[in-house]
Structure 1
Amino acid sequence: MYSEQIKQLQSHFKSHSKSKEYIGHTAKVHSVGWSCDGKRLASGSYDKSVSIYTLDKEILNKETTYKGHGGSVDQLCWHKTHADLLSTASGDKSVRIWDIRVQKCVATINTKGENINITWAPDGETIAVGNKEDLVTFIDAKTNKIKSEEQYNFEVNEISWNNTSEFFYLTNGQGCIHILSYPDLEVQHVLKAHPATCICIEFDPTGKYFATGSADALVSLWDVDELACLRVFTRMEWPVRTISFSHDGQLLASASEDLLIDIAFVESGDKIADITVEAATFTVAWHPSRNLLAYACDDKDTYDRKRDAGNLKVWGFPVE
């Protein structure tokens, strides 16, 4: 049924398997993400800074570095429809919003704890940030004021809205996915997704599926409407830390402490390609309109193995 598509994709990546590496930071990169128009890539690092790169066909150029956070930048998230707005969550107990047009921070929102997760609702109106104490703070993106806070009595890992911003999802330490209505945050469903900690969650661009990655080394694919698990991707051997759907929803990238990033065909689970890496991978992100995958690993400096490299890579360029 899908064999022709699978063959085409496998063949595409045989000739488009080049990775390009960019040194962006002086310490490890925790998070990468593309702007909604695909023209820019942002990276957030343990060195407290955010770097912005511009993509021109096959070339990525570093545009600027934003400083201001007093702690590690653990996760970043672009506005879903406004290509110039970027939000960052930091261990310095704040969220910052950056405007690429003026190249500076346009808002700093102080929160109660060390922030580790951030997500921007697809309708652009709300930013949610989760901290190490399992408190989720909801910020009004128009006024940059805190709207509400929710304290959970379980380990909250990644958080996300669905594609219509009507439901809010969070993954937890007991392997569950909590689905809450938004904005009233009433629990609608609790899915027992994995036997181990549920680490990451991602919605596919078509709105049909979401996927979760777990400490059990599995990635599960769910039907958004039926809330049924459709298939499980089993090629990883270590806890799955980060996942990303490609722009057309055909591919799912998964990464962990395995020394490869797995690229799977969503509808069948078939392997399309894999990317060999030298260290644990923290973050992966597909480009919003091209088959290019940005990622960052726990790489060490080539000359000083004790030092983190602070680099990121983009895979999927044509092999010369």
Structure 2
Amino acid sequence: MSLASNRSFFKNFIPSAAKDTVVSGGQGSEVITSSINLTGTRIVYARTDKTIRIWKSTQERLVDPLVIEHPHTRAVESISFNPKTEFTFATVGRDDVVKIWRCTGVLEKEITVSRDSGEGKVACSLVSYSTDGELLCAIDRDSTVYLYAVSDGYRKVCEMVLPERVYAMSWFNSGHSFFMCGLSNGTAHLYKVEDAADSVVSCGLRHVLKGHRSAVTDVAIDPRGKYFVLGSNEGVVSVWETATMLCSKVISNTDDGVSHISISRDGTYVAVSYDNGSSIKIFEYESAEQIYEVPNSAVGKLTLTSLQWFPSKTAFVYTSDNSRSITLMKKSEK
């Protein structure tokens, strides 16, 4: 589609806010992070009231919410669906446990995260399944990366320490061969996972991408694998071609730190969320031009805005009403 066609495309989108329930002591709580399963039938998000909310996603709206209270000691900071199963997801909440849940609210498994040295307190802030569901990655606030073999009872198969604090991590759409981390020094590190004969894996550093002057706060991979995007604290968004590992485009029209990036299922649209007063903006990949500004998407008092594209259709959910609610945005059938 042309740039004009892409702009008019979003004019046909209609919002549908989720009617969230308030738990005891949760008045005014805000949405922290969210995740959508591969089929687009379930949406899970965490709130500052230390709950997880699980919603069914229908063609019209989000329905039948289920609440898990106090899944971790602190509020959940990261959620990831297992791509092998429709109704299983992992959470971390700045403690030393990764928890695996069913969408029924049942706790399926607890993984205690510990360093090989046995030293230091672990506080996990990121969790992510590989795109083939074979590996689960957890990263703590001291920049230690842990990989677990999912089909082998979540046995730890790799541990490594990165040189700087890790703000973001994402797997490439190539099974579990490559992943990228965004670091506090403005670089992004690409790692290749090598399977070994003794049932462990090693992670070799393949590229260090430079160009940002401040922390790389998010990493997003095009689902087709053609390109990836880095967002930074200085408000600059860089677009890199996977084949060459070279930066092809820069988006810098908003003087606000980037909090989150999400790419649509066909790679056409890049949604960028910001730290402060700016609304979420959607850019076209080819032209790097802004084509849409998401309404009612300013930040909250405690949390940052975010947007998640559906893996199965051109629709998305985003934090709205100063992060106090979540809204489904889909194309009108009319």
Normalised by the size of structure 2, how large is the TM-score? Answer: 0.86
Aligned residue pairs, count: 307
Residue in 1 that maps onto 2:210: 192
1:167 matched to 2:181? The reply is no
Note the 1:57-206 alignment, pairs <5 A.
57-67=59-69, 68-100=71-103, 103-112=105-114, 113-142=122-151, 143-164=153-174, 165-183=176-194, 184-206=202-224
Aligned equivalent of 1:37, options 26, 36, 39? 39
CA contact (8 A) 2:221 2:228 kept: yes
Q: Give the C-alpha shift of residue 166 in structure 1.
A: 1.0
C-alpha separation between the residues in 2 aligned to 1:88 and 1:9? 35
Unaligned runs of 5+ in 1: 301-308
| RCO higher in structure (CA 8 A, sep ≥6) | 1
After superposition, the Cα gap between the structure-2 partners of 1:319 and 1:163, relative to the gap in structure 1 and judged at 3 Å, is closer
C-alpha separation between the residues in 1 aligned to 2:204 and 2:215? 22
CA contact (8 A) 1:28 1:298 kept: no
Moved segments of 4+, more than 6 Å: none
Residue in 2 that maps onto 1:287: 310
Q: Give the C-alpha shift of residue 289 in structure 1.
A: 2.3
C-alpha separation between the residues in 2 aligned to 1:93 and 1:45? 19
SS for the counterpart of 2:6 is: helix
1:278 matched to 2:298? The reply is yes
CA contact (8 A) 2:67 2:105 kept: no
Note the 1:258-269 alignment, pairs <5 A.
258-269=277-288
Residue in 2 that maps onto 1:14: 11
Q: Deviations over 1:275-307 (max 9, x none)?
A: 13232533221011222221226837xxxxxxx
Unaligned runs of 5+ in 2: 115-121, 195-201
C-alpha separation between the residues in 1 aligned to 2:221 and 2:97? 26
Q: Give the C-alpha shift of residue 136 in structure 1.
A: 1.4
1:312 matched to 2:332? The reply is no
C-alpha separation between the residues in 1 aligned to 2:278 and 2:96? 33
Among the aligned pairs, what percent are the same residue? 22
Aligned equivalent of 1:225, options 240, 243, 249? 243
After superposition, the Cα gap between the structure-2 partners of 1:173 and 1:41, relative to the gap in structure 1 and judged at 3 Å, is same
- What amino acid is aligned across from residue 125 of structure 1 in structure 2? E
CA contact (8 A) 1:13 1:316 kept: no
Q: Deviations over 1:133-180 (max 9, x none)?
A: 111111222212322221223111111221112112111111101111
After superposition, the Cα gap between the structure-2 partners of 1:59 and 1:96, relative to the gap in structure 1 and judged at 3 Å, is same
Residue in 2 that maps onto 1:306: none
- Worse overlay, 113-122 or 146-155: 146-155
Q: Deviations over 1:60-90 (max 9, x none)?
A: 1133122332221001011234211111111
What's the RMSD between the two structures over aligned residues?
2.0
SS for the counterpart of 2:2 is: helix
- Worse overlay, 80-89 or 201-210: 80-89
Note the 1:240-259 alignment, pairs <5 A.
240-256=258-274, 257-259=276-278
CA contact (8 A) 1:18 1:318 kept: no
C-alpha separation between the residues in 1 aligned to 2:206 and 2:10? 40
SS for the counterpart of 2:8 is: helix
C-alpha separation between the residues in 1 aligned to 2:42 and 2:316? 13
C-alpha separation between the residues in 1 aligned to 2:72 and 2:113? 13
Residue in 1 that maps onto 2:198: none
